[in-house]
Amino acid sequence: MRIRKAALWSAAIAWIPVAVLLLALPAEAEQLERVEAKRVCMVNDTVFPKDQIAVEVEGKTYYGCCEMCKGRLAADAAVRQSTDPVSGKKVDKATAVIGAGVDGKVRYFESEETLTRFGNGA
C-alpha cells in the first residue's frame, strides 16, 4: 500500500511543472475582433452593440456608455490611456487600434501589427 501511495505521489509531483507552465501561458493568445472606437466604453473597456456617447477632449474623441463615464473621460487623463499588451507602450485610446474578445472586453494596441501579433500569441 505504501509503495502504491508513493508511486501516486511521485506521478502527481511530476505533473506540477507541466501545470505551472500551462498556468503561466499568456491569456493574450485569444483571438480578438477589431472593433470601432465608437462602440467601446473607454472607461470600463467594453464593446457594445451600439454607438456610445462621444466625448471631445483636446481635439480627440473618446467614448463612454453613460454620463458618469462621460465625466470621467473628460476629467481624468489616465482613463484615456492604456498600455499595448504586446509592445508595452502607452497608447491613447482615441487613436488606438481596438480589439474585443468574446467576453466583450477590449484591449488597445498601438498598431494593426501589434493586434495581429497578439492574436498569434506573440
Q: Which residue from 79, 78, 76, 77 is spatially nearest to 40, judged by alpha carbons?
A: 79
Backbone angles phi, psi at 83, to 5 degrees: -120, 130
Which residues make beta-bridge pairs with 105? 46
- Residue 9, domain member (yes or no): no
| Domain contains 49 | yes
Beta bridge partners of 35: 98
Residue 19 domain-assigned (yes or no): no
For the whole model, what pTM was predicted?
A: 0.74
Q: What's the CA gap between 108 and 46, in Å, rounded?
A: 11
Does residue 51 register a pLDDT over 50? yes
pLDDT interval class at 20 (50, 70, 90): very low
Per-residue pLDDT at 75: 97
Q: What is the tally of structural domains in the chain?
A: 1
Instruction: Provide the residue type at 45 as one letter.
Output: D
Average pLDDT of the chain to the nearest whole number = 85
pLDDT band at 3 (very low <50, low <70, confident <90, very high): low
Strand partners, 61: 56
- Whole-number pLDDT of residue 120: 80
Q: According to the model, what pLDDT value does residue 8 have?
A: 53
13 in any annotated domain: no
